Amino acid sequence: MAEIKIRMPGAVPSADEYSTAVTAGNKVLQDPSPNRSQDAQESSQQGRYRAWVTALRPHTTLLQKLIAEVISTFILVFTGCGAAMVNEISNGKVTAVGISLAFGLVVTIMIYSVGHISGAHMNPAVTLAFAVAKHFPWTQVPLYIGAQCGGSISAAFMLRWILHPAASEGATLPFGTDVQSFLLEIVITFVLMFVVAAVATDTRACGELAGIAIGSAVALNALMAGPISGASMNPARSIGPAVASGNYRALWVYVAGPIIGSITGMLAYNCIRLPDTGVQGDKPAKSFRR
């Protein structure tokens, strides 16, 4: 039974002495200090501080996303294009299979490293496709693309400085005709974005395996199309080495092709996406949308 303890009558207690304790079982609740003016002042200061932090938080969060995109795209280009350059220097010891695996592995690693921060786009075509499908705000698209291209250009110049004899090997160049490479880039980026849309935007997909699925799609496309088009699938991955090497031949292939392929891949998956049932839709997907 609850016990209520009340001070016995006597001298009128001062405000500092008055207290009422309510004991319920082994829990004791006491009235707070009556110094209300001080509490009100502290509450007001905390309210102003929270409002200030809330006002700054969106800008800080966006800055963190952009830094994550710069770093992840830098690592992508440095590792993937670096593997191609080392393959040239070592007379083919890395092999085409090794280059394909390098690109697939680094994409998988970066998704698990920064996917929860920025979405790990690392690709202007992916960012545009998400924006077209209304999974990503258009206001952040130019900033994301700038961050991705900045990271790619920085990595390309770093590779040029370290591996100068093979500086031009990081550039994506068609081994067939420009039309062949253009069509291949559309198709393989379509495949990549179809997989991304499935595992990164659909709540029914297993989000924990998104990195493995997307990295595997990159490696598979590179194995198939690498000997013909170079399998860029990423305008930023091609722009960086082109700027560093000064070789802009057929760059339009690797800008227009991936953008067309990614947008059509996203729209194609949206056409077959099953409607949310309400039960499964309550679980948020671990996705590239940030």
Q: Helical H runs in the chain?
A: 36-89, 95-114, 124-132, 141-162, 178-201, 210-229, 235-245, 251-272
**Residues 7, 18 contacting (CB under 8 angstroms):** yes
Q: How far apart are CA 265 and CA 142, in angstroms?
A: 21
Chain segment 115-132, per-residue pLDDT in tens: 999 999 999 999 999 999
Spans of all domains in the chain: 3-31, 65-274
Model confidence, pTM: 0.75
Q: How far apart are CA 42 and CA 39, in angstroms?
A: 5
Looking at the domain 65-274, which fold is it?
A: Glycerol uptake facilitator protein (1.20.1080)
Tokens at residue 25, please? 């079982």
Q: Is 221 left (phi over 0), alpha (psi -120 to 50) or beta?
A: alpha
Using CA atoms in the order 73, 84, 227, 103, what is the torsion angle rounded to 10 degrees? -40
Chain segment 19-67, per-residue pLDDT in tens: 444 344 444 444 445 455 666 565 555 555 454 434 444 445 899 999 9
Q: Residues 243-276, buried b or exposed e (16+ Cβ, 10 A)?
A: bbbebeebbebbbebbbbbbbbbbbebeeeeeee
**What is the pLDDT at residue 9?**
43
Chain segment 185-213, per-residue pLDDT in tens: 999 999 999 999 999 888 887 778 899 99
**Residues 228, 92 contacting (CB under 8 angstroms):** no
Q: State the CB neighbour count (10 A cutoff) for residue 71.
A: 19
Q: Is 92 left (phi over 0), alpha (psi -120 to 50) or beta?
A: left
